Amino acid sequence: MSRATPLRPISLRRSVLSVPAINRRALEKIAGLDCDAVIFDLEDSVAPEKKAEARENLRAFFSGPKPVGKERIIRINALSSGFGADDLELVLALEPDAVLLPKVDEPQDVIDVGDRLAEADAPESLRIWAMIETPRGILNAAAIAEAGRTPASRLDCFVVGLNDLRKETGVLPQPGRAYLVPWLMQVILAVSAYGLDAIDSVFNDFRDAEALDAECGQGRAMGFAGKMLIHPNQIEAANRHFGPDEAAIAEAKAIIAAFAAPDAATLNVVNLDGRMVERLHLVQAERLVHKARLIAQRSAALRQAEG
């Protein structure tokens, strides 16, 4: 009998905005944005000669109040680079919600950072996210995800990086991502098997709202938890597509009510308006309603902070 994947706590990761740590003006605007999470980037968006300045920017930012309702993730440079060690020291000092590792190729990449965090007595709340953005990363996605299943692991989320993957494979950036879909679904299978989240790749043209809308819809249909974003203008579309709509919430509440009826206590299947609904759908419904409740609570907290 196969071992069931344990259910993870629900996190809101519909909109994951990447902000260059070198951009002080962008950092100052974060508090007023309606994104669920922020990636503070020390890697690709920061020139080598600006890395130290970017770290100081983050020290100053983290010394202020934590933005309401936003998960904070710091993307570091590879430990094999000349910058990764200093980046990781900064992570240990600032204690964000997670550290994002670039170009994760194999399980050992995650294990090594996990060991360093453990040796430094980092709090358990400091999680690891992994960028899956190379051919080896895609091929090893399941093995990397499996490494996150051990009790001591901090692995929590995959983020797909298609720009690097396209560059290494020669796949052209075409609408619909037809030649990339098999690889994207391979990532979804890996995280689903081992109880992690996956965040869809960035959409590069933030001025093309129609194409962004289509790609968010595609990512949600594939099973991604949210989308990595490069501009605040993209937040609304991501929140709308990756959050539950009113019809889905109403259906979930109906499923919960059906199984809550006294005569359904011992049933694994109930009749809901002529449709047979299994108890496994009850678990999904409860998680969806809980997610909707978290979104409502977060929105209320944001309004209170603004007012």
What's the pLDDT band for 273 if we cut at 50, 70, 90? confident
Identify the pLDDT of residue 77. Answer: 97
Unique residue bearing structure tokens 């998960």: 71
Identify the pLDDT of residue 284. Answer: 86
**31 burial class (0-12, 13-18, 19+ CB within 10 angstroms)?**
middle
Unique residue bearing structure tokens 């590069």: 204
Identify the pLDDT of residue 146. Answer: 95
What's the pLDDT band for 8 if we cut at 50, 70, 90? low
Q: How far is CA 103 from CA 32, 91, 238, 268, 292, in A?
A: 30, 18, 24, 44, 33
Cα 57 to Cα 307: distance, rounded to the nearest angstrom: 27
Cα 235 to Cα 164: distance, rounded to the nearest angstrom: 23
Identify the pLDDT of residue 72. Answer: 98
Mean pLDDT calculated for residue range 86-115: 97
Identify the pLDDT of residue 1. Answer: 31
Cα 153 to Cα 178: distance, rounded to the nearest angstrom: 34
151 pLDDT exceeds 80?
A: no
Q: What is the pLDDT of residues 208-237, one digit of tens each?
A: 999 999 999 999 999 999 999 999 999 999
Identify the pLDDT of residue 101. Answer: 98
2 pLDDT exceeds 60?
A: no
**Choice between 88 and 69, residue whose per-residue pLDDT is larger:** 88
249 pLDDT exceeds 80?
A: yes
- Give the range among 40-44, 58-62, 201-205, 274-278 with minimum mean pLDDT: 274-278
Q: What DSSP character marks residue 74? A: E
Strand boundaries in the chain, DSSP class E? 15-20, 37-41, 71-75, 98-101, 127-132, 155-160, 197-200, 226-229, 269-272, 275-278
Identify the pLDDT of residue 3. Answer: 45
**Choice between 100 and 277, residue whose per-residue pLDDT is larger:** 100
Percent of the chain exceeding pLDDT 90 equals 74
Q: What is the pLDDT of residues 178-207, one digit of tens each?
A: 999 999 999 999 999 999 999 999 999 989
